[in-house]
Amino acid sequence: MRGPHNILRLVRTGATLERTGAMTVVLEAFEAPRPLRIVARSLALPFKWLGYKGDPSMPPATRALTALGPAYIKFGQVLSTRPDVVGDDLARQLRVLQDKLPPFPVDVARIEVAKELGRPVDEMFSDFSEPVAAASIAQVHKARLADSGEEVAVKVLRPGIERAFARDVDAFYLAARMIELFSPGSRRLRPMEVITHFDGVVQGELDLRLESSAASEFAANTKNDAGFQLPAIKWEYSARRVMTLGWADGVPMGDNDAIDDAGHDRVALSERVLQLFLQHALRDGYFHADMHQGNLKVAPNGDIIAYDFGIMGHIDEYTRRVYAEILYGFIRKDYKRVAEVHFEAGYVPADKDVDEFARALRAVGEPIFGMDATRISMGRLLSYLFEVTERFGMETRTELILLQRTMVVVEGVARSLNPHINIWQVASPTVTDYITKSIGPRAVISDLTKTARVMARFGPRLPVLVEAALIRQANPDLPPKRPFKRWIALAGVLGLAGGAGLALTLGAVI
């Protein structure tokens, strides 16, 4: 489906922005230079009649994105958390995309629930309300279980949402291909891989069984985290297009007035939401990757409640250590070490100069420290960072896309609660604690111990491998049978086994 017919979809994107008045709003929010504004308007104006009209009662940007479809709405949700990038007015307009989109009728939802769960709705739920929240992919109804009387939230996918997303992502693939074709310099950003990654994430979000499983794993990881709650999954009332979980009472994270009226400390909340994200990403390698205000509440006791687990991020232990060292280096203003970590991880080509890269990173990092958050232009900072990465040939790391995007979103949530928050100062204790535990003698011993456990599974095969190697050494005329691989494997097994044994010994001593 990634054929030329999708050009119409892309043309309609620009035409819709122009027709709804969003083109001017977006260009102004991003402080686009005058020549770019003239070119963008000139290209979109002739096709204005092709644009979607949208809902005239909505603000221009919200009107355009809702008319264009769910993938565009997802993009708007991210921007709504970044008033420092798009401005307070546009961020406020886009915030309705988080959970206040037009719902579909409750009768349609009841039909979907009955079809998915195989039982009449009235048999399962004594109450089933009108939609209480509607987002780009699904909407939520408040219900009460017939057998226990417990209040629950029932999430139901929008009818036809799978096809709608496929259409949007299909056009994105074409746009990515066109970018690679007409802008060779952008290939280092791997636009096709980025869209492929996004496509995979979305497909997972469209199966609520996977979301239920993700919520269960996330709950197990975070059960001891102070000031953090997750609603319990009701597996017997969940399926592919329906998900039921405990009802979460609290005020929306995006409503500062309600938070203040409830007597909660917004400064403490802003710090906790950032530290919780870093704990989950670094400690567990498994984090909520859609932590905008629409997916967060503040419980009556002040706990942060998270829900909507359709997008979860996972990073392996090695990548977590690299990420933590980069953050730690910025916190300590050790730009040389930050640069070295980029080179060691292969993020920057080896033929580049590490000292020059360190100086470029200093120019990015220094304006951040000791400055009031309200005086930092994140838009200009990101623009300069992009120039630095382009100059040094850094490629997009698709495995870090969710981590980077979520960091941007969580930072936006924290700033919306406390505009004066010092992100680096708040992050320092969590990152420092992780570095202390993951890098050093104890971490080395822990790694070797894990290696020993893995090698123990191959213990029964060691005699056979040794015997085969000795036979071949004693009979060199035998036809070779991958001799180098066998010897390398044997040496590796014996070496790792010895190292693991040393680790276990040291571990017992310490």
pLDDT digits (tens, 9 = 90+) for 347-401: 888 888 999 989 988 887 777 665 555 555 544 555 566 567 667 777 656 556 6
Return the H-helix or E-strand segment holding 2.
none
pLDDT of residue 183: 62
- Angle, to 10 degrees, between the axis of helix 483-509 and the axis of helix 441-456? 130
Q: Is 290 part of the annotated catalytic residue set?
A: yes
Q: Is the pLDDT of residue 98 over 70?
A: no
pTM, entire model:
0.69
Mean pLDDT (whole number) for 203-208: 84
pLDDT of residue 361: 84
Q: Which of 168, 290, 303, 433 is catalytic?
A: 290
The domains of the chain are located at 6-97, 99-247, 249-438, 441-509
**Kind of pairing between the strands at 304-306 and 228-229:** parallel
pLDDT band of residue 506 (cuts 50, 70, 90) is very low
- pLDDT per position as a tens digit, 288-345: 988 888 889 999 999 999 988 988 888 888 888 887 887 788 778 888 988 888 888 8
Which segment, 25-39, 166-180, 181-195, 306-320, is predicted with the most confidence on average?
Answer: 306-320
Work out the percent of the chain whose per-residue pLDDT is above 70: 74
C-alpha distances in angstroms, 510 versus 184, 447, 448, 507? 55, 15, 14, 5
Total H helices, total E strands in the chain: 23, 10
pLDDT of residue 250: 93
C-alpha distances in angstroms, 495 versus 452, 457, 487, 502? 11, 15, 12, 11
pLDDT of residue 505: 36
Which segment, 27-31, 99-103, 493-497, is predicted with the most confidence on average?
Answer: 99-103
> Which segments within 192-317 are labelled E, that is strand?
228-229, 242-246, 251-252, 286-288, 296-298, 304-306, 312-314
Mean pLDDT (whole number) for 455-466: 68
Q: Which residues contact 309 (CB under 8 A, 6 or more apart)?
A: 211, 212, 214, 215, 218, 288
